[in-house]
Amino acid sequence: MTSIAKHKPIGAGKSSFELIDTAKFFHALNLRKGNVFLDVACGKGSYALKAAELVGPQGTVYAIDLWEDGIAGLKTAIEAAELPNVKAIWGDASRHIPIDNQSADVALLATVLHDFVEDQTVDGVLQEIVRVTKSDATLAIMEFKKIDGPPGPPKNIRLTPAEADRLLAAYGFRQERLIDVGPYNYLLMLRKVS
């Protein structure tokens, strides 16, 4: 992976985990024991660590990010919590997500889809998500509501649920539910249909 630029990606170090109703969020995700969960652009890994509890030791959590310090911190947290089923991966999801084809039951993009759109890497990321998710996988997209911040990115780069839905439909994902998970964020639940 030496070809990956070692820089701090957009939004690195910030997390929406503390901004949302996590009980409502994880209820909507409906993770089951034995599931394979993929957290794309995981940051410091708060969602991945919680997901590990829900999928249990028979499940697997993959957490990938281009932010090297975030992945290093996540690896330390994994060791401290003794969670061998969590795999922290430093890498560029727009180029390659190093997991098997059609292996993930649930994939998450937590407040990062707008960043991928802004830096024009969204096509590569979504193609990789299509490749690594099972035929009936769930894709969870959490984004900031299109309102003035802070918190979150500038309003002009935020995506409405309709904008996110249109983008994801082009990659074979169909919206199932739209859930309000807090004053700043919405959760778009989609199913892979092709």
Q: What is the CATH number of domain 17-192?
A: 3.40.50.150
Picking from 18, 6, 1, the residue whose alpha carbon sits closest to that of residue 69 is 6
Other C-beta atoms closer than 10 Å to the C-beta of 121 total: 17
108-135: pLDDT as tens digits: 999 999 999 999 999 999 999 999 999 9
96-114: pLDDT as tens digits: 999 999 999 999 999 999 9
Which residues are within 8 A (CB) of 156 and not within 5 positions of it... i.e. 6 or more apart?
none
28-56: pLDDT as tens digits: 999 999 999 999 999 999 999 999 999 99
Instruction: Give the integer Cα–Cα distance in Å for 176 and 169.
Output: 12
3-25: pLDDT as tens digits: 444 455 555 556 789 899 999 99
What is the domain partition of the chain in residue ranges? 17-192
Specify the pLDDT at position 3: 42
pTM recorded for the entire structure? 0.93
Task: Tell me the C-alpha to C-alpha distance, in Å, between residue 31 and each of 47, 50, 60, 89, 147.
Answer: 12, 11, 11, 21, 30
Task: Tell me the C-alpha to C-alpha distance, in Å, between residue 163 and each of 39, 42, 117, 141.
Answer: 21, 22, 11, 12
148-176: pLDDT as tens digits: 989 999 999 999 999 999 999 999 999 99
